[in-house]
Structure 1
Amino acid sequence: GTAALHMAVAAVGVKQGDEVILPSFTFVATAETVVLAGAKPVFVDIDPETYNISPEAVNRAVTKKTGAIVAVDLYGSPADLKPIREIADKHGLKVIEDAAQAHGAVYDNRPVGAYADVACWSFYASKNMTTGEGGMITTDDDEIAEKLRLIRSHGEKEKYKSILLGHNYRMPEIEAAIGIVQLKKLPKFLEKRRKNAERLTAKLRPLKNLQLPLEPKGCRNSWYLYTVRVKDADRKKRDTIVERLKKEGIGAEVYYPWPIHLMPYYRKFGKGRLPETEKASEQVFSLPVHPGVTVEQIDFIGEAVSRLVGRG
């Protein structure tokens, strides 16, 4: 997935000195690849209900230096791409969709990636489908596709003749073979995740202090992660709940405890506050709904969360 993002940033024409608009509430690779291209990441705030990049914040951040916009489908929940696409078209910008967590997700009744110039996917071991390591890029732009093919293999148009700067980002055949088999299994994996998520939602819905995942009209979550928010929590209270869940054998985790703009390396790119991002990072945690989780385990998770959140 990281290699896919690195290639995408280069293929859409981002160059040294450009600015790239992206969320801070995501895995660090989203920003890492922008910096590797010599560009400046411009972090903007999120929607407090979906945790995805805010189109309004994107619009405010566009400058003459902007080279591209990166939208992330965080936790498998589709980003609001239609208004972002409109902003990009107005300013002649490319849109990269970081769909690393969104295999099988739907936005505006279309597969995620349809509104972006390039969509990047991860096949890391924890994802909805896997090749162990590796990733994929999708695009309907022939020019971008040709650049991606060149970048993937040292920029070579023909053997030993590079026409642009490239890398060795070729996927090994054994990983590709695993991916082909996994792709056939993806619908079954997604259905199990959805059933687990729906059952867990039914268990947790009575908890007024817990914000549950949303599925806006025309959208389908991939349920990579089932992320909840303790509305009145600070970081200490949220972390205490997570630790108690772990002691009960539940694989609760926090994604992501530190927004990128607050990480030591990335502070130099701007000191502006992102209040919704920072608040979410202190209040959210994720629960397992992957295909290996049984109905009985979902019920146990629901009961444990209800008990612990109820106690505070």
Structure 2
Amino acid sequence: MNDLLTQINQVNIPSFTLCRQNNALQKELLECFLHVVDGGIFVLYENVKALEDKIASFCQSHYGIGVASGSDALDLSLLACDIGSGDEVITTPFTFFATAASISRVGAKPVFVDIDPETWNIDANLIEEKITQKTKAIIPVHLFGCPAEMDLITQVAKSNKLRVIEDAAQAIGAKYHGQRVGSFGDTGCFSFFPTKNLGAFGDGGMVVTKNPQIADQIKLLRIHGAKRKYCHDILGYNSRLDELQAAILNLKFKYTELWTQRRREIALLYNSLFQEHIKTGRLSVKLPQEPDYAYHVYHQYTIQTSERHQLQDYLRSLGIASTVYYPIPLHLQKVYSSLGYSQGDFPVSEIACNEVLSLPMFPELTDEEVAIVVDKIADFFAR
């Protein structure tokens, strides 16, 4: 009988799903697919060019270069900025692995700086002390859709003649003091992985830049280093955004700001409902912060609690999904053991890895579902 009652009371709230969005766009998506198929050209054609122009303009930049993934956007940006063997690049240990891996793949060394405990972005005040004669660039990450402190980062970079490559994979549309992320550095790197705020039906990425030389170099690098067919000037990559993905992204792009606004509404609702419980003393969790300078696009709505593991298990038992981004900081990953970092070197990042939990967040999430999630979290802390 108890098992039956549990099943009856079970909810089913995913952490993320594309099914609701795809159902709503089904007719447009099918038309989009058939248009590309009928055209018969599937790589670097009109849909890619249209998307490159749209994203560049949207990001207040001059050039957009479609590539095969957000990881490739980082790799090609580093190469186009002439960063390689023997160089050092400063970044955060609290991010997806691709950020640091791109540095390693071009032969450079990632140098980590701890994060700001309020935004979970790289602590811009700690960057300068890590700069050496080998430092060539900074890669700030606009984590979870919240812009990093770009004024200070660009000031430090300028005074030390460093490149800035923005990892904006999770932050398309985010703004710092009213200016779009991706437009501050030498390049801005975006991912169109399906779970992103603007997602394809597979991998895809984009580099934006205001520098024509960097744009030309990335265009060269993405097609095997060839300016003309079968004539290769440099050793490049095969990193082309295909027409079908670009067509889908062009379709979805017109909804991007509407979806962003809905994400922000959901975040505000989460905040409001959580605050009601916090005031009554029913729970104690740290809510995501939106600094005065920021326009947060809430790729994730992430809370922090020392009871993360127990809370996630409890929510899972009720049919409420949640996700941990990221359980192991990069400086403690096995692949980077040769860098010589130890537990305790970046305490704020390590605490975040042990305590953050991302709650359901996608534009089609309903207000009722948000209320259920908050109520169940409050029940957990009131137990």
Fold agreement, TM-score > 0.5:
yes
Aligned to 1:102: 171
Tell me which residue corresponds to 1:277.
349
Q: How does 1:297-312 map to 2 (within 5 A)?
A: 297-311=369-383
Query: What secondary structure is seen at the aligned counterpart in 1 of 2:304?
Result: strand
Question: Is 1:40 paired with 2:109?
Answer: yes
State the Cα distance separating 1:173 from its structure 2 match.
0.6
Q: How far is the alpha carbon of 1:13 from its aligned partner? A: 1.3
Unaligned runs of 5+ in 1: none
Q: How does 1:30-69 map to 2 (within 5 A)?
A: 30-69=99-138
Does residue 115 of structure 1 match 2:190?
no
Q: TM-score, normalised by structure 2?
A: 0.78
Give the counterpart of 1:294 among 363, 366, 370: 366
1:207-246 equivalent positions in 2, closer than 5 A: 207=278, 209-230=284-305, 233=306, 237-246=307-316
Matched with 1:250 is: 320
> 2:237 corresponds to which letter in structure 1?
H
Q: Distance in 1 between matches of 2:321 and 2:208?
A: 32
The C-alpha deviation readout for 1:175-211, integer Å capped at 9, x for no partner, is 1111111111101211111111111110112426211
Shift in Å, 1:309: 3.2
1:7 aligns with 2:82: no
Question: What is the alpha-carbon root mean square deviation over aligned residues?
Answer: 1.2
Tell me how far apart the structure 1 counterparts of residues 213 and 381 of structure 2 sit (CA, whole Å): 51
- Kept in 1, the 8 Å contact 2:174–2:297? The answer is yes
Secondary structure of the structure 2 residue equivalent to 1:211:
coil
What one-letter code is carried by the residue in structure 2 that aligns with 1:218?
Y
Q: What secondary structure does 2:126 align onto?
A: helix
Distance 1:221 1:84 in 2: 18
SS of aligned partner of 2:255: helix
Provide, for residues 24-79 of structure 1, a one-character-per-residue CA deviation record: whole Å limited to 9, x for no partner: 10000001111110001111100001000011221111100001100001111111
Say whether residues 1:176 and 2:246 are aligned partners: yes
Decide whether the 8 Å contact of 2:74 with 2:167 is kept in 1: yes
The Cα offsets for residues 120-151 of structure 1, whole Å up to 9 and x where unpaired, read as 10111111111122111111111111111011
Alignment of 1:169-208 (within 5 A): 169-205=239-275, 206-207=277-278
Residue type of the partner of 1:295?
D
Q: Paired residue for 1:152, among 210, 215, 222?
A: 222
Q: 1:251 deviation in Å?
A: 1.8
Q: In the TM superposition, what is the alpha-carbon distance from 1:292 to its structure 2 partner?
A: 2.1
SS where residue 210 of structure 1 aligns?
coil
Residue of structure 2 equivalent to 1:138? 208
SS across alignment from 1:72: coil
Letter in 2 for 1:155: G
Moved over 6 A (4+): none
| Larger RCO (CA within 8 A; separation ≥ 6) | 2
Cα displacement string for residues 99-138 of structure 1 (whole angstroms, at most 9, x for unaligned residues): 0000111111111122111111011111111112211111
Question: Is the 2:146–2:295 Cα contact (8 Å) retained in structure 1?
Answer: yes
Question: Which residue matches 1:16?
Answer: 85
Q: Which amino acid aligns with 1:51?
A: W
Which digits, 9 at most, give the CA deviation of each residue in 1:71-101, with x for residues without a partner? Answer: 0011111111110100110111100110000
Aligned residues: 306
Asked if the contact 2:331–2:337 (Cα under 8 Å) also holds between the matched residues in 1, the reply is yes
Paired position in structure 2 for 1:86: 155
Q: Determine what percentage of the aligned residue pairs are the same residue.
A: 38
**Does the residue aligned with 1:227 lie in a helix, a strand or coil?**
strand
Shift of 1:165: 2.0
Report the alpha carbon displacement of residue 278 of structure 1 after superposing the two structures with TM: 0.5
- SS of aligned partner of 2:219: helix
Residue type of the alignment partner of 1:136: M
Give, as a single letter, the amino acid of the residue that structure 1 aligns with 2:290: E
Name 2:143's counterpart in structure 1: 74
